[in-house]
Amino acid sequence: MGIRDEVEQIVQKINGKPERIRSLQAVYQFNLGNGEFLQVKFHGGQAELFDGTPHKADCRIILSEETFRKLLNNQLNAIAAYMSGALKVEGKLSLAFKLADVLKACF
C-alpha cells in the first residue's frame, strides 16, 4: 500500500470522529522528500486529502516517506522525530501539535 493510500485511510478515520476536528481550520502539507507533496485540509469538521500543493499551507511538515509511515503506524513518536531532526516543521508549530493530538485520538 502506498503512503497516499495510508493517509487516505487516516483521513477517513478522522472524518469518522468529526467532534475532534470541528474547530480545526488549517491546511497541512507533507513534503515527503522525494518530490511528493500531500495536503490535508481541515474545514467545517471534515478533513480532505489533496495531491500536490493546491492550497496555501498553514503548517508544512518535512520528513521522509519512511518516517511518515512510522508516525502513521505509531512506531515513532512525533516529538522524538522532531528532536532528532527526522521531522521538520515550517509554519505554525502549534498546528503540528494539534495534528498529533488528532491522530492520537483516532487510534
Is residue 87 a contact partner of residue 33, using CB atoms and an 8 Å limit?
A: no
pLDDT for position 38: 97
Structural domains present in the chain: 3-106 (3.30.1050.10)
Question: To the nearest whole number, what is the mean pLDDT of the chain?
Answer: 91
Q: Would the pLDDT of 105 be above 80? A: no
pLDDT > 70 in the chain, percent: 98
Each residue's pLDDT tens digit, 38-87: 999 999 999 999 999 999 999 999 999 999 989 888 898 888 999 999 99
**46-51 and 59-63: which strand pairing?**
unpaired
pLDDT for position 66: 93
b (16+ CB within 10 A) / e for 44-70 = eeebeeeeeeebebbbbbebeeebbbb
Helices (H) and strands (E) in the chain, counts: 4, 5
Cα separation, 57 vs 91, whole angstroms: 8
pLDDT for position 107: 64
**Measured CA angle at 16 (ends 27, 11), to 5 deg:** 35
